[in-house]
Structure 1
Amino acid sequence: MAWDLGLAQMLRDDLAELDITEQKMFGGLAFLWNGHMVCGVHKGGALFRVGKDHSAKAQSIQGVGPMMFTGRPMKSMVECSAEACADDQRRGQLMTMAMATVRALPPKA
């Protein structure tokens, strides 16, 4: 498996009270709410959909940087190292930003 099962379980636990679906994506595992990706795991860490408005704040957290896809940064996504994600406070900050971003989106049909 290309991603850390323990990290996937941490994210799953963080989202346990929500109706979350899981989908293989980006060579990893994505967690979706109302059809929108909230976060996911991949080789080396996690990614969070924090939105453009929260991107700079998210990247100021130690261990967090821009999500690169095909050599370009994805403006609404950030990557978090596995070590940073193991810290409940840092992961919690990112999850709060990600859920605020996704809650602002209309449900997908």
Structure 2
Amino acid sequence: MTDLAARVRALLDVPTVEKRMFGGISFMADDAMLLSVRGSGDLLVRVDPARSEELRADHGATLTTMGNRSMGPGWLTVPAGRLGTAEQLQFWLDVALEFNGQR
């Protein structure tokens, strides 16, 4: 988790606040959560719900569940195996920043 959090910090180009939540480290901008690096090494990303299906089909993300319930189409989990390169991670940072109005 700490390695992925360090990679996120290095790539984010907007001011963020870090908070412990969702079993990991969440990155907030303008009081809104962008994403969370989870203890499992996965990334929880807040996305435009209208893009959810496309992002799942084309980029290997899944709908996020907490317990037995889906968090809805605006919350996706990106498996650690899909975050190995800087380009892969930057893609998801850009998706989160775009949805949050930072791009």
Provide the rounded CA distance (Å) in 2 between the counterparts of 1:98 and 1:47: 10
Q: Which has the higher strand share?
A: 1
The answer on 1:8 being equivalent to 2:11 is no
Provide the rounded CA distance (Å) in 2 between the counterparts of 1:56 and 1:22: 28
User: Which residue of 27, 45, 50 maps to 2:47?
Assistant: 50
TM-superposed CA distance for 1:61, in Å, is 3.7
Provide the rounded CA distance (Å) in 2 between the counterparts of 1:88 and 1:55: 22
Residue aligning to 1:86: 84
When the two structures are superposed, what TM-score results if normalisation uses the length of structure 2?
0.85
Cα 1:49–1:66 shift into 2, 3 Å: same
SS at match of 1:53: helix
Q: Which runs of 5+ in 1 are unaligned?
A: 105-109
Which letter maps to 1:7? L
TM-superposed CA distance for 1:62, in Å, is 4.1
The answer on 1:72 being equivalent to 2:69 is yes
Q: Which runs of 5+ in 2 are unaligned?
A: none
Provide the rounded CA distance (Å) in 1 between the counterparts of 2:47 and 2:31: 16
TM-superposed CA distance for 1:87, in Å, is 2.5
Which letter maps to 1:70? G
Aligned-pair identity in percent equals 21
When the two structures are superposed, what TM-score results if normalisation uses the length of structure 1?
0.81
TM-superposed CA distance for 1:13, in Å, is 1.3
- Point out the more displaced range, 36-45 or 65-74: 65-74
